[in-house]
Amino acid sequence: MARQKQPPQQPPPALKLVLRYAKRGRMRFTSHRDFARVFERALRRAGVPLALSSGFHPHPRISYANPAPTGALSEAEFVEIGLSERRDPSDVVEALNAHLPEGFVVLEAGESAVSSLTRFLDGSRWEAVVEEADAAIVAPASIDRYLAADEALATRLTKNGERTFDTRPAVLNLTTTGDRTCAMTLRHEEPLVRPDDVVAAAAGLLGHTLTSPPLLKRTGHGHLDAEGTLTSPLRQPE
């Protein structure tokens, strides 16, 4: 049997761009898979020259990283694209926004400053808004109780059944920012702790049952240092 001929190797990308985009309004209910379809269609319609991977089945060089859960708003989602030709990042932003549906907005783009976007994005900043009946969960006294706890457990339903885990190690800071709102900075660890897990754990410490899940919004995303500063994966101007 003859060996299959090795396919030609594709050239490396002429430019790797990182784009930060927002997920607003009703688009928070869009799954990551649905967003990927919408985004890739917008890239084609905008005429963005995408580099291709090598192999028998070349595909566009697009890398998604740590998407927010379905139902969450976000101002800090990231995707990396490899271009076959150099383009001005601002032109790419303008072209994509002309073809994306309302609720998805590319906020900025720049040359990638990292070798692996997924590994670089190891922290997030979030806001969580609870119902009026759950306001005690995000009150200062409840926040103080959570931060003083050695363990704060949450239970989440996964594809393998219910899983209970400690949320406390992932929380770098947690503050009350309004009558029904709290803000937090989370490390991306294993298991991955989400902001709704933190709210549920805080409710458990109070002996309170949430009336409904909180409304979540990611406000920051990047590399997290010990002081809670998030560094962007976009190359900064010199």
**For every one of its 238 residues, what pLDDT tens digit does the chain have, with 9 covering 90 and above?**
456 666 677 778 899 999 999 999 999 999 999 999 999 999 999 999 999 876 666 778 999 999 999 999 999 999 999 999 999 999 999 999 999 999 999 999 999 888 899 999 999 999 999 999 999 999 999 999 999 999 999 998 877 788 999 999 999 999 999 999 999 999 999 889 999 999 999 999 999 999 999 999 999 999 998 888 999 998 765 4
Cα–Cα dist 29/11, whole Å = 37
How far apart CA 173 and CA 227 sit, in angstroms, is 10
Say which DSSP state 174 is in: E
Strand-pair category, 104-111 with 171-178: unpaired
Nearest-5° angle of CA 212, CA 218, CA 220? Answer: 155
* CB-CB contact of 50 with 15 (8 Å): no
Could you tell me the pTM of the whole model?
0.90
User: For the domain bounded by 15-119, which CATH number is listed?
Assistant: 3.30.70.580
Domain residue limits, the chain: 15-119, 123-231
